[in-house]
Amino acid sequence: MHIINNKSKGGEVSVDNDGLGEILGGDVAGLAKEVVERLKTKGETLSFAESCTAGNVCRRIGGVAGASAVFMGGVVSYAVEIKKRILGVDEKIMRKYGVVSEETAVEMARGALNVMQTTWAGAVTGYAGPGGGDEHASVGTVCFAVAHCSGAVRAFRREFEGERGEIVEAATKFLLSKLVELI
């Protein structure tokens, strides 16, 4: 694990590329329920910025009874233009590091925090396939970020295999597991 300190945006960014913090056991529905319960216990709120999962993470959280107490909403920023216009992702970041990068995921999570005014925000961007990929990332590459209103952000990059739906579901499970760990 290594730390990136981005003073211009405030807060500390931690990037995990080395496999630490494996996915917690359990099914996606159970992880979503645990996220909601932890947020309720702490009186905190959550939002999302999703790209390759196209709202699947929001759907899973929204499917939990009582989620309305903590879940404020999400932005499906499938298009680069939406990442820029709604979430405020810097085009220079996407050009330099790629749309599918930890850096872009961090910007997306910070954008969701700003737009939704929540305690926590999760972000996911990736190539679920079968097409896609670029010089920065291949199909199956998914980048995530979890941001807190204090300015702290954790970013992760994972490679998943399988069909499109399997990659979307694996990415959803991974982000929910990280939220369980961090909340």
- Per-residue pLDDT of the chain in tens (183 residues, 90 and over written 9): 223 333 344 444 444 433 333 444 569 999 999 999 999 999 999 999 999 999 999 999 999 999 999 999 999 999 999 999 999 999 999 999 999 999 999 999 999 999 999 999 999 999 998 877 777 788 899 999 999 999 999 999 999 999 999 999 999 999 999 999 999
Residue 131 pLDDT? 79
Looking at the 3D structure of the chain, how many domains does it have? Answer: 1
* Domain carrying residue 155: 2-182
For residue 23, give Cα distances in angstroms to 27, 172, 175: 11, 11, 9
CB 177 within 8 A of CB 31: yes
Give Dmax over CA atoms of the chain in angstroms. 43
Q: Which positions ≥6 away from 126 have C-beta within 8 Å?
A: 51, 52, 53, 100, 137, 140, 141, 142, 143, 167, 171
Residue 10 pLDDT? 45
Residue 141 pLDDT? 94
Half-sphere exposure of 50 (CA within 13 A, CB side): 23
Neighbours of 181 (CB within 10 A): 12
CATH code of 44's domain:
3.90.950.20
Residue 24 pLDDT? 46
Q: How far apart are CA 146 and CA 42, in angstroms?
A: 17
